[in-house]
Amino acid sequence: MDNPLLNMTGLPPFPALRPEHVEPAIDAVLEENRSRVAALLAATDHYAWDSLVAPLEALEDRLNRTWSPVSHMNAVVNTPELRAAYNACLPKLSDYATEMGQNEALYAAFRSIAEHAGFGTLDPVRQRIVSNALRDFRLAGVALDPERRERFRAIQQRLSTLTSKFEENLLDATHAWFRQVTDTAELAGLPDSALAAARQAAATRELDGWVFTLEYPSYFAVMSYADHRPLREAVYTAYVTRASDQGPHAGRWDNGPVMEEILALRHELAQLLGFRNYAERSLATKMAPDTGAVLAFLEDLAGRSLAMAREELDELHRYAREHHGLERLESWDITYCSEQLRRHRHQLSQEDLRPYFPEPRVLEGLFAVVERLYGVRAELQPGVDTWHPDVRFYRLVDEAGEVRGQFYLDLYARAHKRGGAWMDECIVRRVDAQGRVQVPVAYLTCNFNAPVEGRPALFTHNEVLTLFHEFGHGLHHMLTRIDHASVAGINGVAWDAVELPSQFLENWCWEPEALALISGHHETGAPLPPELIRRLRAARNFQAGMQMVRQLEFGLFDFRLHLEYDPARGARVQEILDEVRAQVAVVAPPAFNRFQHSFSHIFAGGYAAGYYSYKWAEVLASDAFSLFEEEGIFDAETGRRFLRTILERGGAQEPMELFIEFRGREPEIDALLRHNGIAA
């Protein structure tokens, strides 16, 4: 069989990729890698960068490039056949990673490089790669006895299966539920954009009327605007019980047992490596010095935010009573009443802004902002093979005419596509043995409403923020100047610093100079009027206290789950969540709420015992942006300095060193508090 996964030289040939190609390709690459590693180790007993580390990086890169399109398609065009092929490879990839991490001869070879007199003459980037590798060998269990090694391998294999299962349960539960509406009375309050999308969803299912789903744009529209309280309650109930033992599909895709087993195995894994718990294991590759520092950071922010959050909730209760006759505010009323209160106080709704953020203008403006800051322009490249007709492909070109990176842009929600928004790597920058530069390629994925009824896709301001956030990650990946894949772009970056470029870029979405570039009425082209800009900025910190404690709830819940795991007591998922809510939350959800069953960031993503990273990195992002507030938001010199010190350096240096090089000092929390309207 001619296998396109094995014959790739450039971009993945997505239309040619079939589920039956996946397992044979991975088997072939893993077999070839194993034999090549053995040959490298046998070739000499004096190991050096060029004879060992560089060839190993080439092997790892080929494996990543083979797997990347498979993993990506599994997330964005999921089918039963592709899912089966993907899952069949997970244990094989896990086994291979553990086998390499526990390879004593390989570990000894890296140690010999680090201990050789010539190590000090290697450039600092190569020294860091070798040091990282030695750390990662230890974290892979290279020092364990054979019995414990085997247990470590079994745990890793099982965890790769369980995290995939968590995501599959969530995907299936999300797409299994919908609500058909044929009575127009139930549609009161919903904006035209939501109704058009719901009509299209009904037509796709060959149903009359309107269909609302649990895809985020549909869910958010109902929760924010639907006057009909029973509709809000039905959609809320289905959404917060996805993949759980509660709600309309109770028990069908229940992630409860999956979470229990994941947490038990992570704890056992950490203890095998000599850590007391998985939170300690998580911090081995992060900026935060220890678990106490993380808890103190989150609890300090909670202490600064709680009073403000409680005042905001009290105000919401008063407003709901006086203006909507709601004596008791239920969870399905919070978003709706908050939106009504925002309108009442600021004469502003997300829907008021949507006509001013048509997709073509937003993209054009985003690219203009990036060009002003970093001197790179985005150019659409037609005719590139993709996995769906809606996907587009661009390249980034700098002022010298060099192609610095390329990216796929997949913006719209659809069936068989994972929810949320993310950036992922397709190809990582590296320079090969012949001196050829491998241009980095990113996947940029969102879940916005598609164009309907002849209009372009119209974004809310929140969606514009999401797009800027993911593009910030993409720039970190694409603009790197590091020549070694393991520390190029986001690779090798401490996870609690990786959100710096993404959260940083969001700031331009609030600035009048930038809003002039990213907004323009979809019918008239008129920019966002100054009065709307004033109201948007005035409403920036609307309920910022409530939003802050919500994020702190997620961060503390995640961290304590992994810090306090006790095999004798089990995971105590609901118990710990209830305790955290008693400590920092101001909104108490109903007993049937199972938010944790869809918390894929920590159960299926890279944020286990690391969700605090969003707030940790927001301190860095806010402080970095404050320099632009001082120098001018489009100050070219400051923009190029951020490019040189943060975006181009990837994981080649400690994040704190890079931040100090950019800012001239260590980060301070004042800008974060100011940007969130919380008194310092």
Summarised one tens digit per residue, pLDDT across range 46-62 is: 899 999 999 999 999 99
pLDDT tier for residue 1 given thresholds of 50, 70 and 90? confident
pLDDT tier for residue 180 given thresholds of 50, 70 and 90? very high
Q: What is the largest CA-CA distance in the chain?
A: 81
Handedness of CA 646, 652, 655, 656 (dihedral sign): negative
What pLDDT digit, counting tens, does each position of 428-469 carry?
Answer: 999 999 999 999 999 999 999 999 888 999 999 999 999 999
- Within this chain, do residues 336 and 284 fall inside the same structural domain, yes or no? yes
Residues in a beta bridge with 403: 397
| DSSP run (H or E) holding 213 | strand 210-213
What pLDDT digit, counting tens, does each position of 247-295 carry?
Answer: 999 999 999 999 999 999 999 999 999 999 999 999 999 999 999 999 9
pLDDT for 332 beyond 80: yes
Query: Which tokens hold the place of 409?
Result: 């842009």
What pLDDT digit, counting tens, does each position of 290-311 carry?
Answer: 999 999 999 999 999 999 999 9
- Under 8 Å between Cβ of 261 and 162: yes
Write the DSSP symbol of residue 299: H
CA–CA–CA angle 553, 224, 583 (5° rounding)? 15
Write the DSSP symbol of residue 211: E
- Under 8 Å between Cβ of 537 and 577: no
Q: Would residue 470 show up in a list of annotated catalytic residues for this protein?
A: yes
- Under 8 Å between Cβ of 391 and 410: yes
Query: Per the residue annotation, which of 168, 186, 470, 511 is the catalytic one?
Result: 470
Residue 383 forms part of a structural domain: yes
**How high is the pLDDT of residue 326?**
96
- Within this chain, do residues 235 and 266 fall inside the same structural domain, yes or no? no
CA distance 350 to 485: 41
pLDDT for 44 beyond 90: no
Angle at which helix 291-324 crosses helix 613-631, to 10 degrees, equals 80
Residue 668 forms part of a structural domain: no
**How high is the pLDDT of residue 118?**
86
- Within this chain, do residues 462 and 578 fall inside the same structural domain, yes or no? no
pLDDT for 375 beyond 60: yes
CA distance 248 to 242: 9
pLDDT mean over 583-595: 97
What pLDDT digit, counting tens, does each position of 538-572 carry?
Answer: 999 999 999 999 999 999 999 999 999 999 999 99
- Under 8 Å between Cβ of 141 and 272: yes
- In the three-class reduction of DSSP (H, G, I as helix; E, B as strand; rest coil), residue 389 is classed as coil
- Within this chain, do residues 367 and 481 fall inside the same structural domain, yes or no? yes
- Under 8 Å between Cβ of 233 and 332: yes
Residue 674 forms part of a structural domain: no
- Within this chain, do residues 311 and 406 fall inside the same structural domain, yes or no? no
Contact residues for 559 (Cβ-Cβ < 8 A; gap 6+): 279, 291, 294, 295, 298, 609, 611, 612
pTM exceeds 0.85 for this model = yes
What pLDDT digit, counting tens, does each position of 486-511 carry?
Answer: 999 999 999 999 999 999 999 999 99
**How high is the pLDDT of residue 45?**
80
Residue 500 forms part of a structural domain: no
- Within this chain, do residues 312 and 426 fall inside the same structural domain, yes or no? no
Domain extent at residue 224:
177-240
- Within this chain, do residues 363 and 337 fall inside the same structural domain, yes or no? no
- Under 8 Å between Cβ of 72 and 5: no
**How high is the pLDDT of residue 680?**
54
Residue 623 forms part of a structural domain: no
- Given 589, 611, 633, the domain boundary residue is 611
- Under 8 Å between Cβ of 152 and 141: yes
**How high is the pLDDT of residue 416?**
95
pLDDT for 578 beyond 60: yes
- Within this chain, do residues 236 and 262 fall inside the same structural domain, yes or no? no
**How high is the pLDDT of residue 679?**
72
What pLDDT digit, counting tens, does each position of 104-163 carry?
Answer: 999 999 999 999 988 999 999 999 999 999 999 999 999 999 999 999 999 999 999 999
- Under 8 Å between Cβ of 392 and 446: no
pLDDT mean over 63-90: 98
pLDDT for 202 beyond 60: yes
Q: Phi and psi of 155, rounded to 5°?
A: -65, -45
Residue 34 exposure: Cα atoms within 13 Å on the Cβ side = 13
Q: How many domains does the chain have?
A: 4
CA distance 238 to 236: 6
